[in-house]
Chain A
Amino acid sequence: MAAVEVHELTVRYGDTIAVDGISFEAQAGQITAILGPNGAGKTTTVEVLEGFRRPLAGRISVAGLDPIADHAALTRRMGVMLQSGGVGPGVRVLEALRHTAALYDNSLDPRTLLEQVGLNGTEHRTWRQISGGEQRRLALALALVGRPQVAFLDEPGSGVDPQGRLAIREVVAGLRDDGVTVVLTTHDLDEVEKLADHVVILDGGRIVAAGSPAQLMTAGQSDEVRFGAPPGLDATALAQRIGAPVHEGAPGEYVVAAPGTPALVAALTAWLAEHDLPLADLRAGRQRLEDVFLRLVAEGSFTRPEPRRRRRGRR
C-alpha cells in the first residue's frame, strides 16, 4: 500500500471546482513533487491530505489513515510545512522548535536540526527578526522535528537564497534515505529534476502528466535539436548543410526540426567550426523538465473548460 493514496479527489469552493477528480499515489521513502501553475490546485490537494479541508468527493488515505476521521492519529505521523507563516512574530527560533518538539512523544534534537537546516546562530532571534529565507528553513525544521512518516512541504524553497535552497534540498534528500514519504509542491523545476522520484503535474485542477522526471522528459522527447549561438546566423545555409530546417526563435536560440542523431549534431558542430562560431549550449532529444512543463501547461490552457475557472465575484 502506498503511503499516500488519492482516488478521484474533487474539491469545490463555492461554484469553483479547485480539484477535479484526480488520482495519484506517493510511495513510502520517495519524494513526490506536485507541480503546476498558480491556481492549479496544488495547495488545495495538499490541504486535503493534511486534513485541513474536506473534499467534495474522493477517497484519501495518508499513512493508512483518513485525514479527517483519524486526524488525531495522523498528527503524530505527519509533518506540515505551510506555504507561509505558522509562527508568531515574537517567538524565538529555538523556543519555537523546542515547543513543537515537546508536542511529540519522540522528537529530534532541536539544536541538531537547526544546524541541519543552517539556522545555527539564529537561536535567540525572533521570527520577526530573521529573514524570509530563514523563516522558511525554520518552518521546515518545525515540520520535521516530530520524526514524521509523511512530510508535506508546501513550496519549501520559495523566497530562499541559493545556499539556503541547497541546505533545504540536502535535508529533503536525507528524508528519503530515512524512509520518510515526502510530498512537496513547488515552482522550482530545477529542484524537481534533481530531487523528485515522482512528479504529478496539475493544471486547472486536473492531472496533465505524471511519472518520474526522467520519464516525463523522455516522453516529452521531440524531434528537434536546440542550440545557442551568436544571433543572426545564416539559417538557410546551415539548413542546406545539415539537411534539416533551422529556425531562430529568440535571438541566438536556434531550433533544428529533426531528430538529434549523432550525424546531425556532427554536421551542425562542423558547420559552426568552419565559420569559427562559438556554441553556447546544445540540447538534443530529451528536454528539460521546464520545456515539458511549459508545453503541457500551455496546451492545458486551451482545452480547459472556461466556466469552471471563473471565481465567484469576490473583491
Chain B
Amino acid sequence: MKPLLAHLRLELTLIARNGESLLLTLGIPVLLLTFFATVDVLPIDGEPINFLAPGVLALAVLSTSLVNLAISTGFEREYGVLKRLGSTPLGRPRLLAAKTLATLAVEIVQVGTLWILALALGWDPSVRVGFLAAMVLGTIGCAGLALCLAGSLKALVTLAAANGLYLLLLLLSGMVIPIAQLPGPIQGIARALPSGAMTEAVRGSLSAGGSVPGRAWAALVIWAVLSPLLAVRLFRWE
C-alpha cells in the first residue's frame, strides 16, 4: 500500500506541476464550453449548452486519458524512469494502478469544474448512471490507445501523434460539432471511434429524454477490451 500511495502522490504532484497538461485538461474544455455556449454559432436545435456540456465532459476524458497519459508515459519511458522503477519493488501492477488512479483523480476534478461551469451557463441535465459507465469505459479505451502510442513510439513522435489525434478526435467525435453535420461516409467511422461512442453515450445519459443506442455501448466495450490488450502486446519498457 505504501509504495502505491507514494507513486500516486508523485504522479499527481507532477501533473499539478506541469502547466501544459493543465491547459489541455482544464483550459481548452473551459474555453470551448464558455465560447460556444455564449456565441451562438453551432448548428443545434434548442439550448447549445445542453448539447455542449456532455460533449465537453467527454472531451475532458479524452484529454486526460489519451493525450496526457500518452505524453507523460512516453517521456517517462524515454528518460529511463520506467526502466529504473522496474528494478524497484513498485512492480508493474502498482505502477499501472497508480497511473489509473491519477487519471481518475484528474477526471474527477475536471468533471467537477466543468459541471459547475456548465450549470452556471444554464445547463439543465437529466442524470442517469449510464453516464458514469460511459466515462469509465471511454477512459479505459483511450488509456489503452495512449499506452499503445507511448510504449512503441519515441517520446517526441508520441507527443506529436497524441496532439494530432486530440484535434482529430475533437472534430470527429461529436463533442462540439454534431456528427450529423459531418460528410456521410465519415459519420459511421466517427460513431465507431472510442471518443465518438463515449460522447454519444455520455450525451444520451445526461439529456432529458435522451437514450443511448446499443451500438455505442458495443463500440465502447470493444475498445475497452481491445486497446488494453493491444497495449500489452506493443508496450516496450525501454
Contact = CB atoms under 8 A, between A and B. Distances in A.
Instruction: Determine if chain A interacts with chain B.
Output: yes
A85 interface: yes
B87 A99 contact: no
Count class of interface residues, chain A:
20 to 34
Contact of B87 (A50, A84, A95, A98): A50
Contact of A103 (B3, B17, B75, B80): B3
Given A78-B87, A82-B84, A103 B6 contact: yes
Interface in B84-129: 84, 86-91
A174 B76 CA distance: 32
Interface string B44-88: 000000000000000000000000000000011001110110111
Contacts of A90: 14, 17-18
Interface centre among B76, B81, B88 (most CB of A within 10 A): B88
A99 B91 contact: no
B84 A87 contact: yes
Contact of A88 (B9, B14, B90): B14
Contacts of B88: 75, 100, 103-104, 146
B232 interface: no
Given A80-B87, A88-B75, A90-B17, A99 B80 contact: no
A314 B5 CA distance: 42
Contacts of B90: 75, 103
A91 B80 CA distance: 13
Count class of interface residues, chain B:
20 to 34
A230 interface: no
A52 interface: yes
B10 A91 contact: yes
Given A75-B91, A95-B10, A100-B88, A87 B81 contact: yes
A88 B76 CA distance: 6
Contacts of B5: 102
A80 B238 CA distance: 15
A87 B84 CA distance: 8
Interface centre among B7, B17, B76, B87 (most CB of A within 10 A): B87
Contacts of B18: 90
Interface of A: 50-52, 72, 75-76, 78-80, 82, 84-91, 95, 98-100, 102-104, 142, 146
19 contacts: A52-B83, A72-B89, A75-B87, A82-B80, A86-B83, A88-B76, A88-B81, A89-B79, A90-B18, A91-B14, A95-B13, A99-B6, A99-B7, A99-B10, A102-B2, A102-B5, A103-B2, A103-B3, A142-B84
6 tightest A-B CB contacts, nearest first = A85-B80, A102-B6, A86-B84, A80-B87, A103-B3, A75-B89
